[in-house]
Amino acid sequence: MSAPPPPAADTPGLHDNKGWQVLGVVISLPILATMVIIMRFYTRLRIIHNIAIDDWFMGIAWIFAIATSICMCYQVHYGMGRHVATLTLEQGMGSLKALFASILTYNISLTTIKLSVLMQYLRICVSKPVRRACWIFVGIIVFYGFWTVLSAIFNCIPVQYFWDERGEGKCLNKPLLWFLNAGINIVTDFSLILLPIFVLRGLMLPKRQKISLILILALGGFAGITSILRLHALYIVTISKDITWDNPGTAIWSCVELNVGIICASLPTLRALLTKFFPNAF
């Protein structure tokens, strides 16, 4: 990162700070997701007495979602939400280092959320064509996950050129890479939303239970919508000349996407727990 130009002391809004907005989201949403994860594992261990691979994948996703929020807190500490012209070179580089780490943890969490959802479908689905489709999606998600992580690590050569452009180095076309990954993410999101229609169609459940499950799974559509909303924030960053000031939107929507994804994907696993309190509904 190059040294920022000296700011004019009387520039309006120069010392404004949007960091508190980021902290409000990246602290509150992980708390909600943590509560849901605790209920999920309690249900699986204490009520059903059967923990499955989809639970472990979701546990991993939760760990990396927490790591993403921690990285975002560090970004705020080093200046995200403030104008880059007010930051020292060390602060700017520190914010970009935390951004680099958050991209890695975000992609790992996102990948394992989707793998957890697919494992959940495979656990309850009996239709061979649908199971085959699920396994195809597993292969696609695993490949996509490796691609996003490796492309994030080696976005720039050498790696440290991502946050320190003072030496020799080069980077991939960041806007193209980010929008490509975001586009694939949105397509896989909505594909996973449509799959439950075929999964539930083959299950022999009372109509009321099917409807309740469909409503819960439909909440996953909101996670897909957050992926689309994140695109606008991502676009703002790609054209930004003041990245620490403009990046909070991307950070907020990324945090919403991960934690809402964890919550929505975990709700169907809480049916046994909810049945204890609302037996007529479930």
d(CA 21, CA 28): 11
Q: For each of the chain's 282 residues, which pLDDT tens digit applies? A: 554 455 555 566 778 899 999 999 999 999 999 999 999 999 999 898 889 999 999 999 999 999 999 999 999 999 999 999 899 999 999 999 999 999 999 999 999 999 999 998 888 877 788 889 899 999 999 999 999 999 999 999 999 999 998 889 999 887 888 888 888 888 888 888 777 777 666 666 666 666 656 665 666 667 778 888 888 888 888 888 888 999 999 999 999 999 999 998 898 888 888 777 766 655
d(CA 43, CA 51): 9
**Which H or E run contains 156?**
strand 156-157
Tokens of 85: 């012209």
Amino acid 213: pLDDT? 63
d(CA 134, CA 152): 26
Domains (range + CATH), the chain: 19-275 (1.20.1070.10)
Tokens of 248: 């909070």
DSSP codes joined into one string, 68-131: HHHHHHHHHHTTTTS-GGGS-HHHHHHHHHHHHHHHHHHHHHHHHHHHHHHHHHHHH---HHHH
Amino acid 3: pLDDT? 47
d(CA 248, CA 24): 11
Amino acid 197: pLDDT? 73
Q: Output the pTM of the full model.
A: 0.88
Quickly count: other Cβ atoms within 10 Å of residue 121's Cβ.
Answer: 23
Q: Find all residues with CB under 8 Å of 76, minimum gap 6, and list them.
A: 19, 22, 23
Amino acid 142: pLDDT? 96
**Cis bond before residue 12 (omega within 30° of 0):** no
